Structure 1
Amino acid sequence: MPDPVSSIRNLGPASDAVYARAGITTAEQLRDLGPDAAYGKLLQSGGKPHFIGYYAMVMGLQGRPWNDCQGDEKKALRVRFDAIKAGISDNAHDKGRSELEAALDRIGVIER
């Protein structure tokens, strides 16, 4: 049986469902895709961009704790994160929602 996504350091059990919505169901798939392509798929499947989630995953793929990311390395990851976000449709995270639900979510009134 293949290792779940949550077997990667910094990624907990909730990660399994989030990544599965993006078609990534195993740790091996995540490693093969690499962090940037995997995070792009995550956003394209409706996930909301979250910088800490991105760099925690990057650190985990390197076998490092999430809070090990600092200084210039963190700045460089922010540039990569922003580039991934820029490549995704602004409305990708609203996939499957009514216009009203999407608008309420954008202003922080409802939870995903």
Structure 2
Amino acid sequence: MPTPISSLRNLGPAMETAFAAAGIGSVEALRDLGTDAAYARLLENGVRPHFIGYYVIEMALQGRPWNDCRGAEKDALRARFDRLKAAAAPGETAALRGLERILDEIGVVPRRT
């Protein structure tokens, strides 16, 4: 039987719901993916990037308190998070350009010259 994500320290029902929506339904699946791949899936599924949410997952997978991350370790996690966030941004930008194009076509925003 799969282990519920909310059974991990630091991860409650809201994270369990977000992971389920991203196709990650158990602790085992989360561990297999690892923090970066799992967080990338959350971003792809519309979760807004938030550094604390990212490192809480990393700490949960290590069985550590969420606020146990400090110093060089936290800096390294921040660099990983920033790379994930930047990789997710092109899709957002394309989507926003598409929305802007549609708004322009219907006359909601001034046409660019």
**Normalising to structure 1: TM-score of the pair?**
0.78
Higher share in helix: 2
Note the alpha carbon deviations across 1:42-67, whole angstroms, 9 max, x for none: 00011000100100110110010000
| In structure 1, C-alpha distance between the alignment counterparts of 2:63 and 2:16, rounded to whole Å | 18
| In structure 2, C-alpha distance between the alignment counterparts of 1:64 and 1:44, rounded to whole Å | 26
Structure with the larger RCO, 1 or 2 (CA within 8 Å, 6+ apart): 1
Deviation of the 1:89 alpha carbon: 3.5
| In structure 2, C-alpha distance between the alignment counterparts of 1:83 and 1:49, rounded to whole Å | 11
5+ unaligned residues in a row in structure 2: which ranges? 100-113
Deviation of the 1:15 alpha carbon: 1.1
Work out which of the two has the higher radius of gyration on C-alpha atoms and give 1 or 2.
2
| In structure 2, C-alpha distance between the alignment counterparts of 1:71 and 1:18, rounded to whole Å | 28
Note the alpha carbon deviations across 1:80-108, whole angstroms, 9 max, x for none: 0000111113529x8xxxx6xxxxxxxxx
Q: What residue number does 2:104 align with? A: none
5+ unaligned residues in a row in structure 1: which ranges? 100-112
Give the alignment of 1:93-108 within 5 angstroms. Answer: none
| In structure 1, C-alpha distance between the alignment counterparts of 2:44 and 2:89, rounded to whole Å | 8
Give the alignment of 1:1-112 within 5 angstroms. Answer: 1-90=1-90, 91=92
Identity of aligned residues (%): 60
**Normalising to structure 2: TM-score of the pair?**
0.78
Given that 1:44 and 1:89 are in contact with CA atoms closer than 8 Å, whether structure 2 keeps it comes out as no
